[in-house]
Amino acid sequence: MLTQEIKEMASDIRDKLIETRRALHMQPELAFEEIKTSRLIAEYLKQINIETTEGVAKTGVVGLIRGSKPGKTLAIRADMDALPITEENCCDYKSTIDGKMHACGHDAHITCLLGAAEILNNLKDRLSGNIKLIFQPAEEGVGGALPMIEEGVMENPKVDACIAAHVWPEVPAGKIAVKHGAIMASPDDFEIIIKGKGGHGAMPHAVIDPIVIGCQVVNALQTIASRKVNPLKPVVISVCSFHSGTCTNVIPDTAVIKGTARTLDRDLRNSIAGLIEEIIAGIVHSMGGEYEFNFKYLYPPTINDTTITDLLVHSTSKVIGQENVLWAEDPSMGGEDFAFFAEKAPSTFFRLGCGNVAKGLVYPIHNARFDVDEDCITVGASVFAQFAVDYLSEEM
Ligand SMILES: [Zn+2]
Ligand SMILES: [Zn+2]
């Protein structure tokens, strides 16, 4: 009965949601600059009389729906920021800002959560417990989740479980994909400065060449995945930047190497920096150089709780049909700062299908031609709403 109401409400607000998503799409804002975005979110929530707090972790917005009876609290999170990409689509809701684009679909995430908020607010007289609506800034690299948690978003009322979604063009619109356990990796960064002794390119015996040392380090780093770590536990170490020297006949003093180290396992993650430094120290010292090594821990791996994920499968099957709930075969080695919420409370992070080959919506996220099939918005809104209703009424 409730499921039918949720579906009807989602379809009633469909046009409003698409209009909202397009407005967001046209005014993309980067991490911690989501001023207009947060204003739009707050206005939407206030218009439907939802208790709203602005300015959480600078540009974040938090809404709270209190059910008529006490109970558990579920948090639903949407990220808000855009990317520094110039959009190459020619739709009439194209980004109006050169060099900025919602190329990761966070405009759709915001809209799904606004839709769920409106549906759940209409049902609040029949709910026991609360729904916290977390609109989080700065997912792309900078990280808005942790500052929101530090400002107390998981307390008052204390959050018992969390859920979030990411649009996924490889999954057709109308479907979602779920997974137990690890779904996203830890995307940590490192920087290595190799310090040698520069000199004339004609006299290599009189110098300590940081480029030759650096090349050995880059190659040897690949033995971490192939020879140091259990092959059944994924690890990616990619050197993505190597800068040194300025001309053809001068051996430089230093070389700077930068890259990313990723895993799906919390313990393994804690050992990676040590394994990298062991290799650097061995090679650099054996060749007479010095080094500086900086490892930056960004986000933990995102680990889905089995019980919460199973409940999501159950809820989603009711609202979009069991045939539209897929099990994701593999996690992604991409990162996601929803991981911080998932460390605080049992959580699940699912993939919201947004692809449509017939409509030409086939481009990957972070591509200048990425766009979503907007059918995914009412799907996301009704999945969130149904899950919230089921979670709050379930004994767990
Ligand atoms: Zn992204
Ligand atoms: Zn994203």
Ligand number, closest to the Cα atom of 367:
1
Ligand number, closest to the Cα atom of 107:
2
Can you list the positions of beta strands (E) in 252-336?
254-263, 290-296, 302-304, 325-327, 332-335
- Determine whether 5 is an active site residue: no
- Spell out the alpha helix ranges (H) of 210-305: 210-223, 266-286
CB neighbours of 9 closer than 8 A, spacing ≥ 6? 118, 119, 122, 385
Q: How confident is the model over 105-117, as pLDDT tens digits?
A: 999 999 999 999 9
89 HSE (CA, 13 A, CB side)? 25
Using CA atoms, how far apart are residues 257 and 197, in angstroms rounded to an integer? 17
Determine the distance separating the centroid of ligand 2 and the alpha carbon of 121, expressed in angstroms. Answer: 26
CB neighbours of 287 closer than 8 A, spacing ≥ 6? 208, 212, 213, 216
Instruction: Supply the pLDDT for residue 396.
Output: 63
Residue in 318, 23, 320 with CA at minimum distance from that of residue 172: 320
Q: How confident is the model over 270-328, as pLDDT tens digits?
A: 999 999 999 999 999 999 999 999 999 999 999 999 999 999 999 999 999 999 999 99
Task: Check: CB of residue 29 under 8 Å from CB of residue 98.
Answer: no
Task: Check: CB of residue 272 under 8 Å from CB of residue 188.
Answer: yes
Determine the distance separating the centroid of ligand 1 and the alpha carbon of 28, expressed in angstroms. Answer: 13
Instruction: Give the pLDDT band (50/70/90) at residue 6.
Output: very high
Using CA atoms, how far apart are residues 138 and 143, in angstroms rounded to an integer? 5
Residue 359 has pLDDT above 90, yes or no: yes
All structural domains of the chain: 2-184+300-393 (3.40.630.10), 185-296 (3.30.70.360)
Ligand number, closest to the Cα atom of 168:
2
Q: How large a percentage of the chain has pLDDT more than 70?
A: 99
Q: How large a percentage of the chain has pLDDT more than 90?
A: 98
Determine the distance separating the centroid of ligand 2 and the alpha carbon of 51, expressed in angstroms. Answer: 26
Active-site residue identified among 34, 87, 118, 374: 374
Residue 221 has pLDDT above 90, yes or no: yes
Q: Provide the mean pLDDT of the chain.
A: 97
Angle at 321 between CA 129 and CA 25, to 5 degrees: 75
Determine the distance separating the centroid of ligand 2 and the alpha carbon of 31, expressed in angstroms. Answer: 12
pTM: 0.95
Determine the distance separating the centroid of ligand 2 and the alpha carbon of 79, expressed in angstroms. Answer: 7
Q: How confident is the model over 157-209, as pLDDT tens digits?
A: 999 999 999 999 999 999 999 999 999 999 999 999 999 999 999 999 999 99
Determine the distance separating the centroid of ligand 1 and the alpha carbon of 150, expressed in angstroms. Answer: 23
Residue 1 has pLDDT above 90, yes or no: no
- Determine whether 44 is an active site residue: no
